[in-house]
Structure 1
Amino acid sequence: MKIFKKQKLRAVILCSLVILISISWIKKEDDFVKKSFQTAAPLYTQLLKVTNGNFKYYPHSLLENGSIKYYNIDEWTGGFWPGSLWYMYEYTKDQKWKDAALAWTNSLETNQFNTNHHDIGFMMYCSYGNALRFDQNPKYQEILVQSAKSLTKRYSPIVGSIQSWNERKSKGDINTWEYPVIMDNMMNLELLFYASKVTKDPTYKEIGIKHAEQTMKNHLREDYSSYHVVNYDPKTGKVLHKQTLQGFSDESTWARGQAWGIYGFTTVYRETKDKRFLNTAIKMADFFLDHPNLPADKIPNWDFNVGEAGFKPDWDFNPSKFKETPRDASAAAITSSALLELSTFVKGAKRKKYNNAAVAILKSLSSDAYLNTDKANPYFLLKHSTGNLPSNREIDVPLIYADYYFLEALVRYQRKQTK
């Protein structure tokens, strides 16, 4: 009997130690989440202070003189600032962030009628879509449905895609893009799936699926790297050009474009359960994570093939301008958020691979190398993003969408830990 009691006592002690170690491990794992949100709080408090009441201009990045670079209400990144505030509220439960998020979200109301470009999904779903999770205002649903209607006005059944930009010249004025479709457009499809769910009208979803199919068909190479821009003939639907605007060369892989694809196809699979889209997300993610040029900290250079032989840019690239190849923290943040969701749709080694990669990226981004712990600027959370290097714009700067997807990924990670 004494031996049995001793064995039972040892078992209880062992179980207790395992539980304590597990709790300690989880706490250590969550430290980077806490650190990131604590770093964001004073920065965003300051950003709210300087933008207070100025609801026509949305913080986007920094200018060379250190002042805030704003975009107008009708430009593509307006929804990321209120969206970031919603994630601040979700994590902290502090009413201050909710009040600010509501104010900035409501400021975007007129954008529901914006048909000038494809980015209305970014603008309205990242703001109003997040708002609906905390405030079931029926007006928000109406605004999102109207936003989806506006987006569908850019759809052509001949092309089978939503036109991203209006007619424009390609980089270097080599070609005219009459009907350009960019990989980024995959991110706007979630708005269409939402509209079909709440209206019971399948039209929105059908357009989203068709666009995803055409992107899968024409934007991807055999190795599942991606083209940035595909230009179609609007009269016939024929592919005329496969090029880039923000990447190193037409045949290279722009890092953020690859990230948009991973995220976008993961979302389309969630909404359709069509294995074709899951397979595409998996293959694009594997290209990103397994690429030999991906740095050890998993924060990619702005293009996977920058400076490589065999990739010819149609712009004046001068590598001597940079001490080292610029990274793109925004591409990493988008990818980490996508991988956290993608990991829930696969099993075994793939699930472990994607989850571990997402966490590794988040830990890198929350390190002092990328997180603005040193107050390198007074307003934004992440450093070292690249917006459009070929146009000499936004090189090694903070970007509001990098912050948004980083915070989204941190919240997604936190949710997974509490399930």
Structure 2
Amino acid sequence: MTLPYTIISSSDEDTCGVESSPPTSVTSPEMDPSETSFVPVRHLPDLFSENITAKALRTAQTAIKALPDFFPEYVPQDADHDGTYTLREADFWTCGFFPGTLYTILERAVRFPQSLQLPPGISTLHFREQLLTLCRAWAEPLYKMDMRTDTHDIGFIIMPALQLDWELFGNRRSLDSIVRSARSLATRYVPTARAIRSWDILKKKDIEILDQKDNMIVIIDSMCNLDLMYYAAHHMQEPALADMATAHAETLLRSHLRPEHVVLSNTSKSCYTGPWYSTCHVANIDPRSGILKQQLTAQGYAHESNWARGQAWAILGYAQTYLSTKDSRFLHASCGLAEYFLYRLEATPAYATPGRYVPLWDFDAPVDDESNVVRDSSAGMIAANGMLILSQALAGLGSGMLASRFREAALVIVQDTISFALAPEKAELAGASNGYITAEDSTPGCTFEGILKYGTANNNEQARKRYANHGLVYGDYYLVQFGNRLMKMGIL
């Protein structure tokens, strides 16, 4: 996939309608609705392989003894590491993703049993029953977190597992927990700033923001927690929750999106031709007035750089917010964010092009040569999910060509990520004599519990914990989610 554009300075004339702020009144994306484009769908068997199922099952069985205090977070790639998950305390923001991965595989067993590649002798029904028991065990500690008001990440904690538990099995306990979580998140909403406080404080080696009276820290990741509030609002007829989420999304259009001045290099109509945006990671907002005070980073390379995962959170978050609101401002924002993300992928240095669509951890971080290329496979997986949602929304509006473009781009990202970052250390299922299904290394002694490699949790040099080049639990979660989205769309 070659993208027909180049970046130019703001003084050039033929820009793609870039404005100093997002549009406030728009109708539909700037594409000809009559145009369509059909691209052959790539075959992605690894998305549904026995390896994915086996790895999730094995971790669920071996790490369960750490519950309720610890959950999987990352798998180091160091040669001297044994390839097992490093566990993180249960109150960390990533705790919901591994239970979510289990439930996403369970969804395959329930809704798409033909997608499971189970070995002879293991029935889908038997596997489903055993996996459900593990899912419930891993979800149990999450119910105790739904009253937490100390974190904006309660959506990441609760939704991946409990939404599917409610939707697949009608478990009212899970829906009630989702609703309580949304109300807990609402306590962090600051009406005068029209936003939800993300972090109470920011402490790095180079900067500290500790006072909440004059400062309000909001991060771009927060866009993906809004889905929790919309979901609860629509189920319980509590419009105030949705109103808070929408106000937050509107505020971040101004505080986090940075217009990028780009021009098409030819007359192709395949690109989104509205404003394109990069993102900042952290905004410090005056809680009394809502005025933007600072744009910073905590996990990217620099305050003014384009942290890849932050860009991906924005693509996904605004696409989800559009689905919940049908407010085209959010659709346009997601399109502009996605198009700029694709541009930055294409601009990857030539010596890093094997794996071109596995994003560099920060698009602006210096890369001298192939020996210090640091990527973030999780950013690609998050962005790909957002682009699939975009493609559905655009198809519904009649923008077939642009819908096809983002769908194809998502498939390219995932295909390249699987080719480049899928851990070669595979696992497979085995049935024990007592009927209990287990998993083992395909090559004995060759272990890597993560599905993908080359994730980067935080490579900011001023971070209190700096770590890169590893498997990441949320990278794996969004990879498995992508497969389920394709099946729901009837693509695979």
TM-score normalised by structure 1 residue count: 0.86
Q: 1:293 aligns with which of 341, 347, 368?
A: 347
1:366 Cα deviation (Å)? 2.2
The CA deviation string for residues 221-264 of structure 1, in whole angstroms up to 9 with x for no partner, is: 11210000001122332221101011111111000000000000
Where 1:256 maps in the other structure, the secondary structure is helix
Q: How does 1:151-190 map to 2 (within 5 A)?
A: 151-170=185-204, 172-173=206-207, 178-190=215-227
Match of 1:238 in 2: 291
Aligned: 1:384 with 2:397: no
Match of 1:139 in 2: 173
Match of 2:440 in 1: none
1:357 Cα deviation (Å)? 0.8
> What CA distance in whole angstroms lies between the structure 2 residues aligned with 1:120 and 1:135?
22
Q: Which amino acid aligns with 1:361?
A: I
1:418 Cα deviation (Å)? 5.7
Aligned: 1:355 with 2:428: no
1:42 Cα deviation (Å)? 2.4
Q: How does 1:69-148 map to 2 (within 5 A)?
A: 69-93=86-110, 94-95=127-128, 96-148=130-182
1:198 Cα deviation (Å)? 1.3
Counting aligned pairs with the same residue, the percent is: 29
Question: Do the aligned partners of 1:171 and 1:245 also contact (CA within 8 Å) in 2?
Answer: no
Match of 2:259 in 1: 222
Segments of structure 2 that go 5 or more residues without pairing to the other structure are: 1-39, 111-126, 261-276, 427-445
> What CA distance in whole angstroms lies between the structure 2 residues aligned with 1:251 and 1:86?
38
1:174 Cα deviation (Å)? 6.2
Question: Do the aligned partners of 1:263 and 1:281 also contact (CA within 8 Å) in 2?
Answer: yes
Q: Which amino acid aligns with 1:181?
A: V
> What CA distance in whole angstroms lies between the structure 1 residues aligned with 2:209 and 2:174?
41
Aligned: 1:335 with 2:383: yes
1:50 Cα deviation (Å)? 1.7
Match of 2:43 in 1: 29
Match of 2:441 in 1: none
The CA deviation string for residues 24-76 of structure 1, in whole angstroms up to 9 with x for no partner, is: x87x72524333xx211222232122212432211111356444321222210
Which segment is superposed worse, 401-410 or 231-240? 231-240
Match of 2:20 in 1: none
Match of 2:467 in 1: 394
Question: Do the aligned partners of 1:362 and 1:410 also contact (CA within 8 Å) in 2?
Answer: no
> What CA distance in whole angstroms lies between the structure 1 residues aligned with 2:205 and 2:284?
13
Which segment is superposed worse, 255-264 or 374-383? 374-383
> What CA distance in whole angstroms lies between the structure 1 residues aligned with 2:198 and 2:204?
13
The CA deviation string for residues 288-329 of structure 1, in whole angstroms up to 9 with x for no partner, is: 012243456311100111118xxxxxxxxxx69x82321110
1:337 Cα deviation (Å)? 1.0
The CA deviation string for residues 330-364 of structure 1, in whole angstroms up to 9 with x for no partner, is: 00000111111110111232111101111111212
What is the alpha-carbon root mean square deviation over aligned residues? 2.1
Distance 1:243 1:171, change over 3 A: farther
Match of 1:207 in 2: 244
> What CA distance in whole angstroms lies between the structure 1 residues aligned with 2:392 and 2:486?
12
Q: Which has the higher contact order (CA 8 A, sep 6+)?
A: 2
Match of 1:195 in 2: 232
Question: Do the aligned partners of 2:285 and 2:294 also contact (CA within 8 Å) in 1?
Answer: yes
Q: Which amino acid aligns with 1:192?
A: M
> What CA distance in whole angstroms lies between the structure 2 residues aligned with 1:418 and 1:348?
15
Where 2:372 maps in the other structure, the secondary structure is coil
1:377 Cα deviation (Å)? 4.1
> What CA distance in whole angstroms lies between the structure 2 residues aligned with 1:168 and 1:228?
12
Q: 1:52 aligns with which of 39, 60, 64?
A: 64
Question: Do the aligned partners of 2:357 and 2:417 also contact (CA within 8 Å) in 1?
Answer: no
> What CA distance in whole angstroms lies between the structure 2 residues aligned with 1:166 and 1:145?
23
> What CA distance in whole angstroms lies between the structure 1 residues aligned with 2:175 and 2:105?
22
Match of 1:304 in 2: 363
Match of 2:310 in 1: 257
Question: Do the aligned partners of 1:58 and 1:78 also contact (CA within 8 Å) in 2?
Answer: yes
Segments of structure 1 that go 5 or more residues without pairing to the other structure are: 1-24, 309-318
Where 1:83 maps in the other structure, the secondary structure is helix
Q: Which amino acid aligns with 1:162?
A: I
Match of 2:489 in 1: 416
> What CA distance in whole angstroms lies between the structure 2 residues aligned with 1:386 and 1:151?
27
> What CA distance in whole angstroms lies between the structure 2 residues aligned with 1:159 and 1:146?
23
> What CA distance in whole angstroms lies between the structure 2 residues aligned with 1:417 and 1:229?
37
Where 2:67 maps in the other structure, the secondary structure is coil
Question: Do the aligned partners of 1:171 and 1:244 also contact (CA within 8 Å) in 2?
Answer: no
Distance 1:107 1:325, change over 3 A: same
> What CA distance in whole angstroms lies between the structure 1 residues aligned with 2:47 and 2:490?
11
Which segment is superposed worse, 336-345 or 269-278? 336-345
> What CA distance in whole angstroms lies between the structure 1 residues aligned with 2:178 and 2:151?
16
TM-score normalised by structure 2 residue count: 0.73
Question: Do the aligned partners of 2:459 and 2:468 also contact (CA within 8 Å) in 1?
Answer: yes
Match of 1:404 in 2: 477
Q: 1:62 aligns with which of 61, 64, 75?
A: 75
Question: Do the aligned partners of 2:285 and 2:293 also contact (CA within 8 Å) in 1?
Answer: yes
